[in-house]
Structure 1
């Protein structure tokens, strides 16, 4: 495999806070700042999310799908507002270092 690099994979996550959606790539085990993109108030479409990842220099790993998780703002309070978090495995686009 001389001359080839293995694509590093990361997790991109999207969440909403104060009515605004935010997409970021968690660059764990690096000293790099986490790339981030902010959306408006409407839920970003699949295309919106893919375009934002591209602008940040990433692409979904082939076969990866967005997974949605429900959390709460205050885990100790069952009446706490719901927080939706989406995640997908991504890799740096060819020619872009993460």
Structure 2
């Protein structure tokens, strides 16, 4: 009877050992998968960080361009012509041609 008890105990221990080995393999697979996932996430975060830095640099350049354009516009608005008004006449040749035509009719 004690042999049966020892045999049953030994079988139970063997079954527990197999179960623990199976669980250990499952945990090892899960750990490997998680390690790969973390590695991929790390690469993605580094790439995203690089993109963010590039966007910040581009925004800084655009901001400098906007400041420069604003300065040019401001400088153009404050140009002095000594009190003389300056008008821009569009399509001058067309209008001058029409003027000559009307003068010739009169």
Q: TM-score range by the shorter chain?
A: under 0.3
Instruction: Give the alignment's TM-score, normalised by structure 1.
Output: 0.15
Question: Whose helix proportion is higher, 1 or 2?
Answer: 2
Question: Whose strand proportion is higher, 1 or 2?
Answer: 1
Instruction: Give the alignment's TM-score, normalised by structure 2.
Output: 0.15
Q: Kindly name which structure, 1 or 2, has the bigger radius of gyration based on alpha carbons.
A: 2
Q: More relative contact order in 1 or in 2 (CA 8 Å, sep 6+)?
A: 1
